Amino acid sequence: MAVTLREVAEKAGVSAMTVSRVINGAAGVRDDTRRRVEEVIAALDYVPNRIARGLLSSRTGILGLIVPDVVNPFFTLVVRGAETVARRAGYRVLLCNSEADLALERQYIDDMTSLRIEGLLIAPVGDRSRASLLSLTRRAFPLVLIDRSVERLDCDLVQADSAAGAREMTEHLVAVGHRRIAFIKGDDDMSTSRDRLLGHRRALEAAAIAFRPELVFVTTVDRIGGYRAMQQVLRIEPRPSAVFTVNNMTALGAMQALREQGLAVPADIALVCFDDVEHLAVLSPFLTVMDQPAEPFGTIAAQLLLERIGGQAGERARVVSLKPDLVVRESCGSRPRDRQS
Amino acid sequence: MAVTLREVAEKAGVSAMTVSRVINGAAGVRDDTRRRVEEVIAALDYVPNRIARGLLSSRTGILGLIVPDVVNPFFTLVVRGAETVARRAGYRVLLCNSEADLALERQYIDDMTSLRIEGLLIAPVGDRSRASLLSLTRRAFPLVLIDRSVERLDCDLVQADSAAGAREMTEHLVAVGHRRIAFIKGDDDMSTSRDRLLGHRRALEAAAIAFRPELVFVTTVDRIGGYRAMQQVLRIEPRPSAVFTVNNMTALGAMQALREQGLAVPADIALVCFDDVEHLAVLSPFLTVMDQPAEPFGTIAAQLLLERIGGQAGERARVVSLKPDLVVRESCGSRPRDRQS
DNA sequence: TTGTAAGCGTTATCAC
DNA sequence: GTGATAACGCTTACAA
């Protein structure tokens, strides 16, 4: 098997402790002893066993990160942000994909706990993730929620101001002339879906437009969900002039449905969403979006987590609310030449 | 701290071994004893410590996965594929982002070894990754290369047939009338860059078009690299009628440069690349690409790795070559109405 | 400056 | 069926 500390010690003619001191850079080793040990380490290609170390110190140097969908560019950027900060602090990231599945998420949380990760970053499936997370918060396990809050779970959280963002988006749609707006969202179990609908309603209210429940479509917040919801939208009469989807993946699915029906955006119907679609904006700056600063979600969350692990955080839960940015492009139909067609 | 097996044992009035048997579903425990232990486990919210288990059995249940860039949709899909297969087999995936940095990659490999992962999936930075990987292959550590081979490193590999794919793409460009084609690629240290240039050259040769070294541009295979390389392309006279980039990210950067110069694709210049850009195809089916089956890269690699871990693999290295698919859309200028403008 | 002893949480082995 | 003991590779506390 792999070389152990004790083998190094033997070969160098010292005790295990001395080798341990050398690899940890501890003081109290004579220079020539240290040098000799280092030579043996190099010669044997010795790598200390973190597992063993973690058993003793429960410092494994691993953080957990659970997201519902790595392929969603929003979460991909979150991952990159978190990983960068973690690495700088000497931590590695164990990434898992819950696939928006509660049971899977729970299993991952258990797995990670059993691997003795030092802290967990998670974009939870929804409010029902509470049960799994409660077992962590109860024993003050370092935990930071990303993107979505969990009802009655008091812990650190990095999110966007969804209500304000959605309100601004709807205000924009209204400003460019839309009055009949469909809203495609996820289950109410998800804070983002709740909050964004709320913002949407507030904007309608402020514009004295009656809120119509039949224009709200609940689906899974992925591409297939957006696709199906859009098919439903197209079945109602009269057809809405605009559709607002709760995230980027739903918008892509919606777009696909529209394309299949031969409908043009925004000529036939306008389409806007929360989240930008990384890479898409470069090739085809077309979709009007409420852009969330995805990478900062990851970096800030990781920072909060590291502070908590380091005991510099205090007992109170900290909530960071990031402001999303309205990016007006073409799909909302705000450009007169598109709207008049 | 966390609840231990021994605490469960005490509370249940049995020995540690009995608890161990229960959590491992081993035979030889009376039903009522088992039930009693299970109750205590549930009551105390006990989660076994995999770290401790791993110390003994060196079975940590973790696979490592190192990619140069999680944000690249190709690798994101690889990640999802690998993770899915790993999970089904009861493994978790430790994901790291080497950022195409050799030193970082080496550090991650060391870290992972020291965490006693059971196997490693890696899309290596390049041939120079050999030194780090050799220390693994020497001790027959389960290892599968993804996407890129490493010179003189004999181990399992899942890759695309880059040469054939590039050749087909260039043949297509030639077929639709291009004769002056720029090629944007990464360093020769990367097998994909080497192989794709090779295929490109073969196609030119077959078409009796002279290969011009001054039309080959070497850069980093990311967006900024593509952006810079395209700026160089635009400086040469006469301007190539088509540009072939070695991957999706470079194509996006190239596109950005073209946009800034006010050049239209394909009217002013054609642009094609290796790899599709997930999500982009839905919203804007525009880029003509040599699509690689990204998710299968991950699933197949994970399967190979699991076989190796399970000792079902034999000594010989296995090489899986996946066939890429030409997807003709608009950017190659193959549609007459675009070419004649 | 260096070494000894004990133990982290689990499991393999062998008794009972 | 169940339990005692030792061991995995390392570090903490203390002794030399």
From the centroid of its chain, how far is CA A192? 12
Through-space separation of residue A28 CA and nucleotide D7 C1' in angstroms: 30
Residue indicated by tokens 């194509």: B251
Are A176 and A268 in the same domain? yes
Bridge partners for A289 per DSSP? A273, A327
| A167 and A122 inside one domain | no
pLDDT tops 70 at residue B340: no
A223-233 vs A248-260: helix crossing angle, rounded to 10? 50
Tell me, what CATH number does B44's domain have? 1.10.260.40
Point out the residue among A73, A96, A277 whose CB comes nearest to the CB of B92.
A96
Residue A116: half-sphere exposure toward Cβ, Cα within 13 Å: 26
- Report pLDDT for B2: 80
Query: Which residues from A are below 8 Å from B96, CB to CB?
Result: 83, 92-93
Q: How far does Cα B83 stand from its chain's mean position?
A: 12
Do A299 and A83 contact (CB within 8 A), yes or no? no
Does residue A55 lie in a domain region?
no
Averaged pLDDT score across all residues of chain A: 93
Note whether A5 contacts B: Cβ–Cβ < 8 A.
no
Q: What is the pLDDT of residues B131-167, one digit of tens each?
A: 999 989 988 999 999 999 999 999 999 999 999 999 9
What is the average per-residue pLDDT within A9-20?
A: 94
pLDDT > 70? residue A296: yes
The per-residue pLDDT for A1 is: 64
Report helix, strand or coil for B288: strand
User: Which 84-143 positions of B have CB less than 7 A from strand D?
Assistant: none
Which residues are bridge partners to A63 per DSSP? A93, A119
Q: Which residue range is the domain that position B79 belongs to?
A: 60-160+294-323
User: What's the structural domain count of chain A?
Assistant: 3
Q: Please indicate, yes or no, whether residues A33 and A176 belong to a single structural domain of this protein.
A: no
Identify whether residues A235 and A263 lie together within a single domain.
yes
When pLDDT is averaged across residues B179-186 and rounded to a whole number, the result is 98
Q: Do residues B158 and B147 touch, judged by C-beta distance below 8 A? A: yes
Q: What is the 3-state secondary structure (H, E, C) of B308-336?
A: HHCCCCCCCCCEEEECCEEECCCCCCCCH
Residue of B nearest to A108 (CA): B92
Task: State whether B101 and B41 are in the same domain.
Answer: no
pLDDT band at B334 (very low <50, low <70, confident <90, very high): confident
d(CA A115, CA A277): 34
Q: Is residue A124 part of a domain?
A: yes
One domain for residues B121 and B263: no
Q: Are residues B198 and B216 in the same domain?
A: yes
State whether residue B249 is helix, strand or coil.
helix
Say yes or no: Cβ of B341 under 7 A from any atom of strand D: no
Q: Using a CB-CB distance cutoff of 8 angstroms, which residues of chain B are in contact with residue A278?
A: 71
> Is B326 within 8 Å of B168 (Cβ atoms)?
yes
pTM above 0.85, yes or no: yes
pLDDT per residue as tens digits for the range A252-285: 999 999 999 999 999 999 999 999 998 888 878 8
In a domain, residue B118? The reply is yes
B123, pLDDT greater than 80: yes
| A residues 279-318 closer than 8 Å to B (CB) | 279-280, 282-284, 286-287
Quick one: pLDDT at residue A60?
Answer: 86
Q: Which residues sit opposite B66 in a β-bridge? A: B96, B122
Residues of B in contact with A48 (CB under 8 A): 114
How far is B122 from chain A, CA to nearest CA, in Å? 15
Say if A333 falls within a structural domain. Answer: no
- A109: CATH: 3.40.50.2300
| Strand D contacted by B24 CB (< 7 A) | no
What is the overall mean pLDDT for chain B? Answer: 93
Check pLDDT > 90 for residue A336.
no
Note the pLDDT of residue A335. 57
A194 and A263 belong to one structural domain: yes
Q: What is the mean pLDDT of residues B87-93?
A: 91
Same domain, A267 and A184: yes
Nucleotides of C under 7 A from a protein CB: 1-5, 7-13
User: Chain A window 75-114: which residues touch B at a Cβ cutoff of 8 Å?
Assistant: 76-77, 79-80, 83-84, 87, 92-97, 104, 108, 110-114
| Tokens 């690899």 belong to residue | A23
Strand D at less than 7 A from CB of B29: yes
Chain A residues with CB under 8 Å of B3 CB are none
Residue nearest D7, CA–C1′ metric: B56
CA pair distance A140, A128, nearest whole angstrom:
20
Distance CA A92, CA B111 (A): 8
Q: What tens digit of pLDDT does each residue of A105-114 get?
A: 999 999 898 8
Q: Kindly report which listed range (A76-85, B23-32, B280-289, B309-318) carries the lowest average pLDDT score.
A: B280-289
Q: How far is A236 from chain B (nearest CA, A)?
A: 24
Give A140-150 pLDDT, tens digit per residue.
Answer: 999 999 999 99
* Sheet with B242-245, edge to edge strand ranges: B216-218, B181-185, B242-245, B270-274, B288-291, B325-327
Distant-in-sequence, close-in-space partners of B253: CB < 8 Å, separation ≥ 6: A282, B222, B223, B224, B225, B226, B227, B228, B229, B230
Q: What pLDDT is attached to residue B60?
A: 87
Say whether both B43 and B74 belong to one domain.
Answer: no
Choose among B318, B246, B257: nearest CA to B289.
B246
Interatomic distance B231 CA / D11 C1' (Å): 57
pLDDT (average), residues A74-99: 93
Q: Cβ atoms within 10 A of the Cβ of B184, count?
A: 29
- pLDDT for B124: 98
A332 lies in some domain: no
Chain A segment 62-81 residues within 8 A of B by beta carbon are 62, 70-71, 73, 76-77, 79-80
A256 CB within 8 Å of a chain B CB: yes
The pLDDT of residue A21 is 93
| Residue A330 located in a structural domain | no
Cβ within 8 Å, pair A96-B83 = yes
Q: Is position A176 within any domain? A: yes
pLDDT at A165 > cutoff 90:
yes
Nearest residue in B to A287, CA atom = B283
Give the residue-averaged pLDDT of A289-318. 96
Is the same domain home to A234 and A171?
yes
| B31 is a domain residue | yes
Q: Give B114's contacts in chain A (Cβ within 8 Å).
A: 47-51
- Burial of residue B190, with CB atoms counted within 10 A of its CB: 0-12 exposed, 13-18 middle, 19 or more buried: buried
Q: What's the CA–C1' distance between A2 and C10, in Å?
A: 20
In three-state secondary structure terms, B178 is: coil
Residue range B251-272: average pLDDT?
A: 96
Tokens coding A128: 């029902």
B73 neighbourhood in chain A, CB within 8 Å? 71, 73, 279
Whether the per-residue pLDDT at B182 is higher than 90: the answer is: yes
Q: Do A95 and B97 touch (CB under 8 A)?
A: no
Determine how β-strand B288-291 pairs with β-strand B325-327: antiparallel
Are the C-beta atoms of residues A115 and B62 closer than 8 Å to each other? yes
Q: What is the 3-state secondary structure (H, E, C) of chain A?
A: CCCCHHHHHHHHCCCHHHHHHHHCCCCCCCHHHHHHHHHHHHHHCCCCCHHHHHHHHCCCCEEEEEECCCCCHHHHHHHHHHHHHHHHCCCEEEEEECCCCHHHHHHHHHHHHHCCCCEEEECCCCHHHHHHHHHHHHCCCCEEEECCCCCCCCCEEEEECHHHHHHHHHHHHHHCCCCCEEEEECCCCCHHHHHHHHHHHHHHHHCCCCCCHHHEEECCCCHHHHHHHHHHHCCCCCCCCEEEECCHHHHHHHHHHHHHCCCCCCCCCEEEEECCCCCHHHHCCCCEEEECCHHHHHHHHHHHHHHHHCCCCCCCCCEEEECCEEECCCCCCCCHHHHCC
Whether the predicted pLDDT of A338 surpasses 80: no
Task: Let me know whether B285 and B182 are in one domain.
Answer: yes
A61, A110, A286 member nearest B284 (Cβ): A286
For B38-72, the DSSP string reads: HHHHHHHT----HHHHHHHH----EEEEEES-TTS
Q: Quick one: pLDDT at residue B154?
A: 96
Among chain A residues 56-85, those with CB within 7 Å of any atom of strand D: 56-57
Closest CA to B192 of B297, B274, B252: B274
Round to whole Å and give the CA distance between B202 and B207: 9
pLDDT band, very low/low/confident/very high, at A54 (cuts 50, 70, 90): confident
Backbone angles phi, psi at A177, to 5 degrees: 110, 0
Contact B60 A51 (CB under 8 A): yes
